[in-house]
Structure 1
Amino acid sequence: MSASHSASEIGLLNAIIYMSLILAAMSLCVIFFLFLKRRAQEKKWSHKARRREFLDRTLRGVLAAPMEPSAASVPGLLKGDEDIVLDMAVDMLRVIRGKDVARIIALLEIWNIREYLRATLMRGGRGRRIRIVTLLAHCQDSESLDLLLEQTATEDPYVQLAALRGVADRKAVDHLSRIVGHLPYSRQRNTLMLADILQRFGEPAVPVLNKLALEPGMPQVRLAAIHSLGAIGSIDAVDALLKLASDTDAELRAQTLAALGRIGDMRAQRHILRGLEDPVDEVRAQSAWAAGLMNLREAMPVLLARLGDSHWWTRYRAAEALFQMGPPGVAMLHAATRTQGSGGEMAVQYLAEKAAA
């Protein structure tokens, strides 16, 4: 019995030893594999660093050279250089202007990276695609503009914004109708950034932006159109905005009144006066701001009452508007400081703020 136990124990012990040796060998193989992988990565990083340094010298040399770059005067690219060149070119284009921009673009054409750009736009990640559309915004040829326009229809809202900015920077107003045609149904949510981009198209874009503001669709896109119309400041936007001044959507209504205030057309007066009595806080606040921008003296009694509004921003905008109306409004504020409650407190606060400025 004991001999049998001894034999089985020896067999088990041998099995454990063999398994331990196998695991140790496997561990050594893994360590060796990781070592080789690390060496390969270090070699790759070292090669990439050398190429980056070389390409940086090349780009800076092109900018400093007395002549335009040509295929004979610049070295060719190696496989894998395209990513490096893209990053370096975009970083440079952010800080250079004029002829230097044209030289960098000419160098990229010599290096023939257009196919790389097109392929990366189709299959690359968000970050690479954004950098590519940023680069394309500095080009002047029709092919690069077509690539930008394609990206304005992408489902990725961040790439779409970058592409829209690129088209706006190239002043491609003729293509604005095509661009905004799908915006009401896009996933775009960044209202302020989209508004900043749309206003870059300037006054020629007003008819298209009017249509975009009036069309049903994503509220954020309509708000961006309204913001941009106010920033552009064209009276050609007033008729469209007046149609929205009584919209059932309170945020659209509020931003429309603010845009009308920025434009300053007196046809908006009755809408702004009505907005000061709106049940929605934001609408009252924006109406007070618009009244100040337009110097609506007819609104002064209502603005004085709004100093005691339940909404802090409405109280502040009312005080601001009265102050902007000059001596009569300032006199009203001084008189309000002698009253009790939130209206008197706001008048004191605003006048103190202006005195300290």
Structure 2
Amino acid sequence: MIFHISDLAMLVIAGSVAFALVMVVQMIVLLVRRYLQERRVIASRPQELAVLRELMKAVAGAGAGDIGEAPAFLAADPAVRLRAITHVLQMVRGADREALLRIADQTHVYDAALKDLNRGDRSRRVDALRVLEQIPSAASTDAMLATMGNDPSHDVRLEAATALARTGNLPKPTAVARMLELRTRPLTRLHEALFRSSAVKHTAELERMAADEKYVRIRHLLVEALGWSGDFGVLDALERHSSDPNPEVRCAALKSARRLEHPGAARWAIGLLLDPVDAVRIQAVQTCAKLNARDAVPILSSLISSSSWWVRTRAKEALDKLRPEQRVRADITGLRL
């Protein structure tokens, strides 16, 4: 069977028209759904305002008994109750916040999210975590912890860990490393942020983990997190890690020292200006500048002639900060755009 070029052209045109019609129909469906959703939200606003008023009264009474008899709250859809409670949670603190969280637990406003955590697809489970994050009660926190430890999807477990970190309920760093399989999984900036969020609460455990060979793969994350602890007691540990054979760990020690801004770290930071790895020298230069380490000036002056453009540039910036009366002209050749 032989096709002429004109027949082929007609088939292509017909296919293009059919595809365009399908896209138009999909756009119309999306617009109609969005319009109906907005109309439902507008129609529910008077009811939501009434629920908000009842919630504020119940919180003022520090108990959920009143809300269980409130007519607007009882008549409202679960979605309206959830929006109202999350809205009020943003405005209250202390005992009022605890009372509102008890109301959320006792009235089961997030039951739909809990069901989605157990039987929804991956995107629905992530959406459910974001709902539970808005109401960090004891029950919702337990559900997020269970998801972090048991969900079959690593991405969902990581989303649960992020939600727990944002609510201040992230478990100990050893549990984070175990639940997220950090000894084998690829590491990301999000993992780094999780350890940072634990630094103030779990400083001693981060320090112990960083010294443990079992966690050598994530040691640079642990050492970098120590700088977020605000605890000068970790300076000795940072100095030990500044001689680690892994340049990433040496860089992390310098970043932490720079964040802590304790002048006692300048001594070993100056020594790392002569490190054989460019990335470490760059971090050492920036740390010496941050700590106002004037003893570093002779070595910094020698780095102006380094073969690395980045080292030369950072050394110039550091010297300009440490001795502003003597501005330095550095050779910027070698920059690759």
Corresponding residue SS for 1:171:
coil
Q: How far apart, in 2, do the equivalents of 1:150 and 1:264 lie? A: 38
Confirm whether residue 239 of structure 1 aligns to residue 233 of structure 2: no
Query: Which 5+ residue runs of structure 2 have no aligned equivalent?
Result: 1-24, 59-65
Q: Which of 293, 296, 306 matches 1:296?
A: 293
Conservation of the 8 A alpha-carbon contact between 2:275 and 2:281: yes
Conservation of the 8 A alpha-carbon contact between 1:254 and 1:286: yes
Confirm whether residue 324 of structure 1 aligns to residue 321 of structure 2: yes
- With over 3 angstroms needed to count, the CA separation of the structure-2 counterparts of 1:312 and 1:90, relative to structure 1, is farther
Q: Which of 32, 51, 67 matches 1:62?
A: 51
Corresponding residue for residue 206 of structure 1: 203
- With over 3 angstroms needed to count, the CA separation of the structure-2 counterparts of 1:238 and 1:60, relative to structure 1, is farther
Corresponding residue for residue 124 of structure 2: 128
Corresponding residue for residue 145 of structure 1: 141
- Quote how far apart the aligned CAs of 1:283 are: 0.6
Query: Normalization by structure 2: what TM-score?
Result: 0.68
Conservation of the 8 A alpha-carbon contact between 1:230 and 1:260: yes
- With over 3 angstroms needed to count, the CA separation of the structure-2 counterparts of 1:62 and 1:110, relative to structure 1, is farther
Q: How far apart, in 2, do the equivalents of 1:202 and 1:169 lie? A: 14
Task: State the structure with more CA Rg.
Answer: 1
Deviations 1:197-251 (A, max 9, x none): 4333452321122234344567784433333222333223223322321222222
Query: Which 5+ residue runs of structure 1 have no aligned equivalent?
Result: 1-34, 347-357
- With over 3 angstroms needed to count, the CA separation of the structure-2 counterparts of 1:162 and 1:315, relative to structure 1, is same
Q: Which of 305, 310, 321 matches 2:307?
A: 310
Deviations 1:268-297 (A, max 9, x none): 444322321122111110010111112222
Q: How far apart, in 1, do the equivalents of 2:173 and 2:248 lie? A: 25
Confirm whether residue 96 of structure 1 aligns to residue 102 of structure 2: no
Corresponding residue SS for 1:318:
helix
Q: How far apart, in 2, do the equivalents of 1:108 and 1:54 lie? A: 24
Higher mean alpha-carbon deviation, 243-252 vs 296-305, is at: 243-252
Confirm whether residue 287 of structure 1 aligns to residue 249 of structure 2: no
Q: How far apart, in 2, do the equivalents of 1:117 and 1:156 lie? A: 17
- State the identity %: 21
Corresponding residue SS for 2:307:
coil
Q: How far apart, in 1, do the equivalents of 2:277 and 2:289 lie? A: 19
Conservation of the 8 A alpha-carbon contact between 2:133 and 2:164: yes
Aligned residues: 294
- With over 3 angstroms needed to count, the CA separation of the structure-2 counterparts of 1:45 and 1:101, relative to structure 1, is farther
Q: How far apart, in 1, do the equivalents of 2:45 and 2:100 lie? A: 12
Deviations 1:311-350 (A, max 9, x none): 232223222322332xxx2234x2x33x7x449x99xxxx
- With over 3 angstroms needed to count, the CA separation of the structure-2 counterparts of 1:41 and 1:134, relative to structure 1, is closer
Confirm whether residue 190 of structure 1 aligns to residue 188 of structure 2: yes
Conservation of the 8 A alpha-carbon contact between 1:199 and 1:228: yes
- With over 3 angstroms needed to count, the CA separation of the structure-2 counterparts of 1:42 and 1:268, relative to structure 1, is closer
CA RMSD, 1 decimal = 4.1
Conservation of the 8 A alpha-carbon contact between 2:173 and 2:206: no
Corresponding residue SS for 2:57:
coil
Which residues of 2 match residues 1-357 of structure 1 at below 5 A?
51-65=40-54, 67-68=57-58, 70-73=67-70, 74-76=73-75, 88=83, 92=87, 96-98=90-92, 108-109=104-105, 111-153=107-149, 154=151, 156-172=153-169, 175-183=172-180, 184-185=182-183, 187=185, 189-191=187-189, 193-216=190-213, 221-265=218-262, 268-325=265-322, 329-332=323-326, 334=327, 336-337=328-329, 341-342=331-332
Query: Normalization by structure 1: what TM-score?
Result: 0.65
Conservation of the 8 A alpha-carbon contact between 1:63 and 1:103: no
